[in-house]
Amino acid sequence: NKKPNLISSESFSRVGGVFMGQSHRIKKIFPDAKIIIVLRHPISHLKSFYKYSVENFGFWRPLEDSIDWVRTPFVSFRQNPFSITNYYYDEMLSVYYKAFGRENVCVLKHETLLEDPAVFFEKLSGFLNCDWSIEKYVEIQNNNNVNVSPCDEDIAMLRADNFMKIFGSEMPYFPEIEVVTNRIVEKFSRQEILSEELVKKIESHLEGACYGYI
C-alpha cells in the first residue's frame, strides 16, 4: 500500500487481439491503473529478436523468410515467427488510450533510455509521481550483466550450426558432412540479416503505423 505496484508482461502488448483482451482485463481489475509502454524502433527490434532466436531457439532461416507479412489467422502453426503486425504500435496504443485515457498512458522509447537516461527517468518519475533518479539506474546497470547480442558474423556461424544439427541428425554418417558444413557457413556468411531491400520492405509495411518511427 505504500509503494506503486508494477505488473509487467509482454502479453499486454501482443498482437492478434491479445492486447485488446488484456487491456479489458486490466481495466476491470485495476480501473485506475497507469499504463507504461516502452517502445523500440521496429527494425532494430526485429533484428535483435531474430538474433536472440538464432542464438537460443535454433533458428536458421533468413529473417525475411521468417516474417509474417500479413494478418495471418491467429493459429500458431500457420504463422511465421515474426509478425509484422507486432510493430503496428499505433493500433495497440489507441486501445490503451481509449480504455484509460491518454493522461494515464506513458509512452517511452528504448532509444531514449540508451541515449539520454536522465530524460527517460524524468518522464517516468513524473508520470508515477515518485522519485527514481538516474543514479539508481546506473547502480542497477553496474550490478547486472549487459545482454549483448552476438555480431552478425557470429550469427551466420550459429545459423549454420543450427541447420547442420538438423541435417546431421537426419544423415549422421553422410561422408561429405564437413564439405556441406563449410558451404553452408559460406552461404550464410554472404547473407545480410537486414539488407537494404529488406529494410525498405519493412518500412513500406510500417509507414505511419509505428509511433512516428517510420
Over residues 150-167, the pLDDT tens digits come to 999 999 989 988 988 887
Above 80 in pLDDT, residue 179? no
**Whether the Cβ atoms of residue 118 and residue 43 lie closer than 8 Å to each other:** no
85 CB contacts (<8 Å, ≥6 apart)?
A: 15, 16, 68, 71, 91
What percent of the chain shows pLDDT beyond 90?
Answer: 50
Q: Output 151 or 17, whichever has higher pLDDT.
A: 151
Mean pLDDT along residues 94-117: 94
Check residue 167 and give its pLDDT: 76
Check residue 44 and give its pLDDT: 94
Compute and round to an integer the Cα radius of gyration of the chain: 21
Check residue 169 and give its pLDDT: 67
Task: Assign 189 a pLDDT band (cuts: 50, 70, 90).
Answer: confident
Angle, CA 127 vertex, CA 126 and CA 132 arms, to 5°: 55
Above 80 in pLDDT, residue 137? no
Q: What is the reported pTM?
A: 0.84
Rounded distance between C-alpha atoms, residue 156 and residue 72, angstroms = 28
Burial degree of 208 (CB within 10 A; 0-12, 13-18, 19+): exposed
Q: Output 36 or 185, whichever has higher pLDDT.
A: 36
Above 80 in pLDDT, residue 133? no
Mean pLDDT along residues 4-33: 85
Check residue 177 and give its pLDDT: 66
Q: Which of 66-70, 75-79, 92-96 has the lowest mean pLDDT?
A: 75-79
Check residue 11 and give its pLDDT: 81
Least Cα distance to 49 among 73, 31, 32, 68 occurs for 68
Check residue 43 and give its pLDDT: 96
Q: Output 148 or 175, whichever has higher pLDDT.
A: 148
Above 90 in pLDDT, residue 2? no
What digits encode the pLDDT tens for the residues 21-66? 889 999 999 999 999 999 999 999 999 999 999 999 999 999 999 9
Mean pLDDT of the chain: 86
